[in-house]
Structure 1
Amino acid sequence: MKNYFILKNLCRKIYLAGAGDFWFEEGEISQGKSLRYRLLCFIVFSTYISMTLLEIIGVFFGAMPNDERSDCTSFAVSHTIVLCKMFSVIVNRKRVKELNRKLVEICKDHEDEHRVAENYRIMKINVVAYAVSVYGSFVFFLFDGVRKMMTGSHFITIVTYWPFYDDNSAIAVTFRLFTTGVLGVMLATMICIDSFAIITLIMYKYKFITLRYYLQGLREQFDKNNHAGNEEYATDQLHSGFIEGIVMHSHLISLSKDIDRSVGAVLALQVCLSSGSAVSLVLQLALSKDMTVAAQLKIILFVVALYFLLALFLCNAGEITYQASLLSDSIFYCGWHASSMRRDLRQLVLFSCAAAQRPIVMKAFNMLELTYGTFIQVVRGTYSVVALISAQNESTPE
């Protein structure tokens, strides 16, 4: 039941972050449909949307220096995609609840305590590392804002259309501090949503590992029971266990569709965010000749956070494909050929092996394959675009 508590604890954090109740057991996390909580969620997301709209307006109509315009553009694009990611999960709340139920129930009777503990350790490392990378970038944005204030400018992290660049009134300063706080809270909500997608992928991967060890255990148990006078019992145990394994396999295959419907948009939008925003940020870093060390560090850490999350998504999705591909051998060598019912099981084994030899490939929007190769392609594509534009800029006479 470790997976039950992992998912429930995560859903509780998502609830506290203001994204709603995603747990499949009614009343376990939220005590009914609270009007006060709904009002709080409305205020929180209205603030997120308002801040993002001010950033978008600032990109087109704001009068500001080039460095602040670059920050405004980066934040406008990033926050728009982040909001789309959040709403894609919130809109599919019922599907997410059903996904949580299936993640808890499938294979739960055959999960090994040590493997579940290892699963939890990997989840924790992934989520903590991602949170550290995000807030590490946020700290350097704060540091750069303080540096600007110390050099005679004004403190700023989020660049919006208003306050205007030369407005240093008390109201303007207060609003800049307010948007900084809003950014900190928004990052917490974003991390919770992204962490749900990460944990879903890791947990799904370990479901295939659990099934593989279960099928291998059938052969070991059959060899142990298959002795003179006990052949019928050993065969019956193998037959019933194999049927149960095939049912679990079919449930796992269908679960990929539930994951795509629930968090597929989050994975696809992250590919767009990491590739698009990273290009603009790296170009800003490469083409600017008078950028301070603090400004360079905030951009570098921002890019690291974008690519780190993309790597977590795509590499864990790629690992699902790999683990699913290993099931074919486990099915074939489960011991069916040594049983007295081998003729009855042969057809079922052949169909099961054929199904396992078409390994699951996680996709976003049923188009973009989420694999190790996709991550490499995104990184290479970003590098190629940045290298091309940088070369053109260097060859253009001033």
Structure 2
Amino acid sequence: MKNHNILKNLCNVVFVAGSGNFWLKENHIGDDNSFLYRFYRFVLFSIYGFMTILEILAAVIGDFPDDEQSDAVTFAVSHTIVMIKIFSVIYRKELVKTLNRNMVRVCEIYETKTLMEEQYRIMKINVIAYFVTVYGSAAFFIIAGARKMREGSHFITIVTYWPGHDDDTGIATVFRIFTTVVLCVMMVTMVSIDSFAMVYLIMYKYKFITLRHYFEELRKEFDEASKSSLELASDKLTQGLVDGIEMHKKLLRLSRDIDRSFGTVMALQVCLSSGSAVSLLLHLALSKELTFVVTMKILFFGVALFFLLALFVCNAGEITYQASLLADSIFYCGWYACPSQSAPRRNIRQLVLLAVAQAQRPIVMKAFNMLELTYGTFISVVRGTYSVFTLIYAQNT
């Protein structure tokens, strides 16, 4: 599937989820300035915001049992960060639209069907795995709430300031069920935004793979053309190098736009994964009586947090790796077999020197323009999280 179709389908999902129209063509997917859509988005995010405020109040001044208080803190922190992530992307809607256009156009004519199929398969695996992990975690929260109801208590998934723990009235039960539905709907919006960032990282990685294949094809074409005319083959190779350098420059500019568009999403995910994981591990370690369902609820939630972080960081790290391979492909394009060129022509050796020097500068995706997203970052976050957990655990035992 072409990048144009992938981004269009993704923008359609984001539009339905209430975040607006991010497609590069106005009103092609839908009109997010229409009264009905603005009303729909206002109601949707008002409900999200109201529920998050109630969660924060429950975490700060609520009077609940230890397990529910822990859930209140977890959801209050998580959903606050989720809301910030969503609004950070909505705020940069015009930039994302421009990014969509540029991402589609760069290297588009050199993208092969095989490579696009591989890219689409990787995207599907990443998004589906994340979706299953997130809703698997939600399922265990719902099962845990239903189990409480079977044991004589009330059904509860989201802990909010109202209703209180002792409130078992009909309206309280309806509200608890309503917040559970809101949670499931909110996760659709969250997954759509997170998937947006994830798909961009994967797509950007394959742009570098496409460019690398382009330079490798230049060498094959040069070898074939040089059999009939070395001079014409050299001219064609020189022009191909110029085009490749231009594409590389455009790709480098895209990294800044990706950071500006989705850097907040990825940076906050680092904070969310690390902070929430410490809280969940402490709850798991310090609680003496945990049922299987509650244990799985905590574990699944922690796995979902770190799984998304891994998807962000590892895909970003793969960009750095693929970009690092570009210098070799440029160097071995066949320039050394070209004859010396007269002054009016471009000096292919200088072009190669310029291109290789540009490709050797490491491309490292960053969040907030300071937090490097690499494989090492993921390991550091995991180690740091475990270190904080062991320190706090030692002080409480």
Deviates more, 1:78-87 or 1:235-244: 235-244
Distance 1:161 1:207 in 2: 48
1:194-220 residue CA offsets vs partner (Å, 9 max, x unmatched) = 000000000000000000010011011
- Structure 1 gaps of 5+ residues are none
Residue 293 of structure 1 and its aligned partner are, at CA, apart by: 1.2
Letter in 2 for 1:188: V
Residues 133 and 32 (structure 1), Cα distance of their counterparts in 2 relative to 1, 3 Å cut: closer
Counterpart mapping for 1:124-135 below 5 A? 124-135=124-135
Counterpart mapping for 1:116-131 below 5 A? 116-131=116-131
Question: Could you tell me whether the CA contact under 8 Å between 1:235 and 1:341 is conserved in 2?
Answer: no
> In structure 2, the residue corresponding to 1:121 is in which secondary structure?
helix
Distance 1:201 1:24 in 2: 18
1:346 is aligned to 2:349: yes
1:340-392 residue CA offsets vs partner (Å, 9 max, x unmatched) = 35681111211111111112100111111000000001111111111222233
- Give the alignment's TM-score, normalised by structure 2: 0.97
1:141 is aligned to 2:141: yes
Letter in 1 for 2:125: I
- Structure 2 gaps of 5+ residues are none
Letter in 2 for 1:189: T
Residues 16 and 327 (structure 1), Cα distance of their counterparts in 2 relative to 1, 3 Å cut: same
1:238 is aligned to 2:237: yes
1:192-250 residue CA offsets vs partner (Å, 9 max, x unmatched) = 0000000000000000000001001101100001025x222212211111111000000
Question: Could you tell me whether the CA contact under 8 Å between 1:156 and 1:176 is conserved in 2?
Answer: yes
Counterpart mapping for 1:13-92 below 5 A? 13-31=13-31, 33-92=33-92
> In structure 2, the residue corresponding to 1:305 is in which secondary structure?
helix
* Map of 2:283 onto structure 1: 284
Counterpart mapping for 1:214-229 below 5 A? 214-228=214-228
* Map of 2:387 onto structure 1: 384
* Map of 1:337 onto structure 2: 336
Distance 2:157 2:234 in 1: 68
Letter in 2 for 1:118: E
Distance 1:92 1:352 in 2: 32
Question: Could you tell me whether the CA contact under 8 Å between 1:11 and 1:22 is conserved in 2?
Answer: yes
**1:360 is matched with which residue: 352, 359, 363?**
363
* Map of 1:369 onto structure 2: 372
Distance 1:107 1:183 in 2: 40
Question: Could you tell me whether the CA contact under 8 Å between 2:241 and 2:351 is conserved in 1?
Answer: no
* Map of 1:164 onto structure 2: 164
Letter in 2 for 1:373: G
Distance 1:77 1:145 in 2: 20
Distance 1:331 1:119 in 2: 23
* Map of 1:151 onto structure 2: 151
Distance 2:233 2:2 in 1: 31
> In structure 2, the residue corresponding to 1:366 is in which secondary structure?
coil
Number of aligned residues: 393
Task: Kindly report structure 1 stretches of 4+ aligned residues shifted beyond 3 Å.
Answer: none
Question: Could you tell me whether the CA contact under 8 Å between 1:362 and 1:371 is conserved in 2?
Answer: yes
Distance 1:92 1:386 in 2: 36
Cα RMSD (Å):
1.1
Residue 31 of structure 1 and its aligned partner are, at CA, apart by: 4.0
User: Percent of aligned positions with the same letter in both sequences?
Assistant: 61
